[in-house]
Structures are given as C-alpha cells and as structure tokens.
Amino acid sequence: MTDRPPLQAAPRASGFSRLLLRRSIAFRLIVAVLAVELLSAVLVVALSFGYERHIHFRAFDVMLHGRADSILGAVQDAEDPDDHVMLDQNDLRVPPEDIYEVWDEEGKLLGRSPNWPGTANAKTTETGAEKGRPPGPSGAPPPRGEMLRMDVNGTPYLVLRMRGSRTVDPGEHGGKLRTVTILYGSPTSHLWHAIRGAVEFYAVGSVVLLLVTGPLIAWLLHRGLLPLRQLAALAARVSVDAWHFSPPASARATPELAPLTHALESVLQRLERSFVQQRAFVSDAAHELKTAVAVQKSSLQLLSMKRRSAQEYQAGLERCLADSLRLESLVADMLALARAESATPEGAPQPRVDLAACVRHVVAQLETVAALRQVRVDPPGIAAAGAVETVNVSVPPEDCGLLVSNLLLNALQHSPAGAVVEVQLTAEDGLARLVISDQGDGIPAEALPHVFDRFYRGDPSRTRNTGGTGLGLAIARAIVNKAGGTISIASPAASNLPGRGTTVTVTLPVFSAA
C-alpha cells in the first residue's frame, strides 16, 4: 500500500481580505479608490519634497557663488614690493549670519568675517579640509565650487570653497596672476524651513482632497450602482407564479450590465418554458394514466356486474391485458423521455454507437410490421443505411435504437398499404444525416409546430388505433438534443404544396475521441 502525500490546506485569507469579501461591491470600490488616492498623495508628497529640495538648494548654490564672487572682487593689490594681494573689507556687504574666509596661494590669511568660528566651535564634515582651513602652500588648491558642511555653534552651514585669480600690476609685462582661495558659507536652516513648509502644504492639500473626494466617491458609486440594485429588485420579484421580468432601461443602457440583463432574461425565459413544460407534462401524464386506469377499471366493473360465460370472461381479461400493456408502454415511454432529458454525469465516458448498424438492425426488426401493413422499406434489409458502412455518433446504443425505431415505426403506421418508406443515411463534414420519408397523408400546417410536444396528437382517434402514446417524437427530440444534433419535420401538406408524405431529418455530429 503506497503512502499518499498529505493534503495541503488552502491558504487562508488575511483578516482584512475576509472583511472585504464580506462587504458590498460599493464598499470594496470605495476602499480601493481611497487606497489609490492615499498612495498617490504619498507619492506626491515624496516628489514634492525632492523637487523643493532640489530647487531651493540649487538657488542656494547660485547665491553662494554670487556672494563668493563679490568677495573675490574685494581682493586688491597690496602695493608691496612682492606684489602680494589684500582683502578690502570696507565696501563688503555681507549678511550678518554668513561667514567667509580668504587665503592667498602661500597659505596666508587675507581676511575673514567677524563671526567666523574658531577651531573649537567649528566642525567640518567634508574630508580634505581640516577644521575649515585650506591646505598649506605646498598642497594643491581645491577645485572651484567644492561644498563643505559645517556645524557652527549647533547651526548647520553649507560652505562653498572656491579658487579665484586676480592680476596684479597689469602694466608690467602683462601683470602677475595671483590665486586666492575663498570659503563662503551660509546657514541652511531657512532652506529646510521653506522645504518643510512646501511639503506640509502638499500633505495638507492631499488630506483635504481625500476628505472631500471620499464622500463624493461614495455618493457617485451609490448612484452608479443604482441600475444594478434596480435590476436585482426586479429579479427578486420573479417567482414560480409570476414570471414577468422587465429590466429597467438604465440596466440595458449600461455596457457592464447589458450582458447580465440579457442573461437574466434568457435564463428566466428558459426557466419559465421549462416550468410550463413540466406542468404540462405532469398534467398530460396524469390525464393519460387516469384514462388508462379508468378504462381498465370500467372493463373490470363490466365483468363484475353479472355472471358471465367463460368466453365473456376471457374477452374481458384480454381487454384488461391490452389496457395494462398500453399503460406499461406509456410508463416506459415516460421513463425513456426522463432518461433522455437527464444530463450526462460529469466525468462519464462519452457514448458511441454505429448509426448505420443501428439503422440496419431496426429495419430488420420492423420487417414484420412493414409486411403486415403492406408497406415497403427502401432500401430494404441490410442496405437500409445506403452506401454508408460505418457512422459512429455520440449516442447511447439503447437511445439510438429507440430514436430510429420511433421514427421508422411512426412512418410505417402513417403510410397506406402499398406505400414506400425511404431511409437514407449520409455522412459529410463531420455530420451524420438520417432522412426517413413516408407517403402518408402528411401533417397539417396547424399541427406541424406541435408535433414534438409531449402527448400531442394531431388525430387522436388515429393515434388510438395505432397504439401511440404521443411521446415518440418528444423522445426522439430529447435524444437528438442531448447528442448535440438537430431534428426537423417537413410535410408538403403544411405548405399547401402538391404531393403527400412527411420527411424527418436528423443531423448528429460524428463521434470524436476528443
């Protein structure tokens, strides 16, 4: 005995998912839309933070370069024999919170702002500058535009360290080029304050937008789902006794609800037709059974009214036996019809039968009936299937025999003496086509639409004489429909055309292993 793998439990939904599943569609849509809006608001706030930071710091960088250039403009000739430079701070206009420092190329301090921090209270976080001072004369000058972060008495500063050039004594041999290093810094607290204010504006705006659009979305969804609620209310009124269903025009005009509306109408029409057919079938079956039982009861009562001779008792018993056989035939036909209309169980193997062999077998069985009624079947005997040797169709063998025998027996019973019943079987394009034609009186136009109805008899007296129950064609149609085929009846009498007879055409799909 082999070990079976353990069954894996289905994954359980989270508590929030179960809560959503128990809620209405409108609630789920509102939650989904608000969640998308909330996510969009978070993305907008994040993007606004990045954008505002970029804009403010870019403007701050331009401002630092402009003010550093003004410091460079204050570097003048020192008027000494070695042509050094000096920083003229008399005309400088620098904001009081800003700091600056200027060094020459030899590492000599030319000047600094009064609030320039000392080494104890200034701390740089940028490598390459020790406590805010540039490298010595032997070191390479820093590149133009290098940024340093400094912490001055607990206040963050962003410091620009740039290199500039001034020409001393331009009249003598083109002058001498002197290089200076300028450090200019400004606090960044106002930048972050402005960025924070902008981000707060976007965040508050997004929250207000959510608060305003939330109820609006709920109201719009409530209005948008009104046709669905109206459709559900009208569908709820349908019952076994009241099949009237008239969907609202709003449901028909809504593209999403139009297919559902058409499906409900189609389903309810089929259900109503099925209920009507079921009621008619029960009523007709009860009537037929009651008639058969009443006839049998009257025969027995007639025998018991007085003493009878042996011959009279024998005749009465024969009548009772005939009535019992007819009652048995009616019950058998009803069971056959119920079996033909029942659905095939899921997973059941697909039935298959050779329709040509079935036709030949039924023709052989009814040879005696044809001989008694002096009717000839053409082609007779084993050639009844024509030139077709084998045609497999998806019909159970028992139902196939019942289908062919009902149609052929019906043709024999309605054909006069000396008539010919033609049987043809062809197979083309994946379809098997069985045609049975007789030379009887035909079917009147008013009776032709009802020939497949249960217990329908165009001529009740004639049907009594033939022993029919009125279920033969109904059973044939049920068998053909279950196999996915079609059945039709044509009669010249129904179209007021010359000629007599009736032609029954059955089309069945050829069996496929797929």
Query: How high is the pLDDT of residue 127?
Result: 37
Q: What's the whole-model pTM score?
A: 0.49
Query: How high is the pLDDT of residue 173?
Result: 61
Residue 138 has pLDDT above 50, yes or no: no
Residue 17 has pLDDT above 50, yes or no: yes
3-state SS of 181-204 is EEEEEEECHHHHHHHHHHHHHHHH
Residue 196 has pLDDT above 90, yes or no: yes
Q: What is the mean pLDDT of residues 171-188?
A: 82
Query: How high is the pLDDT of residue 332?
Result: 79
**Separation CA 412–CA 419 (nearest Å):** 9
pLDDT in tens, 21-56: 556 677 778 888 888 889 999 999 999 999 999 999
Query: How high is the pLDDT of residue 462?
Result: 44
- Of the chain, the end-to-end C-alpha distance in Å amounts to 34
Confidence of residue 493 (pLDDT cuts 50, 70, 90): low
Confidence of residue 67 (pLDDT cuts 50, 70, 90): very high
Asked if 333 contacts 471 with a C-beta cutoff of 8 angstroms, the reply is yes
Query: How high is the pLDDT of residue 513?
Result: 58
Residues 6+ apart with CB under 8 A from 273: none
Query: How high is the pLDDT of residue 68?
Result: 92
Query: How high is the pLDDT of residue 129?
Result: 38
Average model confidence (pLDDT) for the chain? 79
DSSP E strand stretches across 73-196: 75-77, 85-87, 99-104, 109-112, 122-124, 146-152, 155-168, 176-187
Question: What are the distances in angstroms from CA 493 to CA 204, 477, 489, 504?
Answer: 85, 22, 12, 14
- Between 462 and 395, residue with greater pLDDT: 395
Task: Quote the tokens at residue 431.
Answer: 């379809």
Residue 314 has pLDDT above 80, yes or no: yes
The full set of domains in the chain, from first to last, is 16-54+195-224 (no CATH), 74-187 (no CATH), 258-325 (no CATH), 348-509 (3.30.565.10)
Residue 145 has pLDDT above 90, yes or no: no
Residue 340 has pLDDT above 90, yes or no: no
Confidence of residue 4 (pLDDT cuts 50, 70, 90): very low
Q: What is the mean pLDDT of residues 345-355?
A: 80
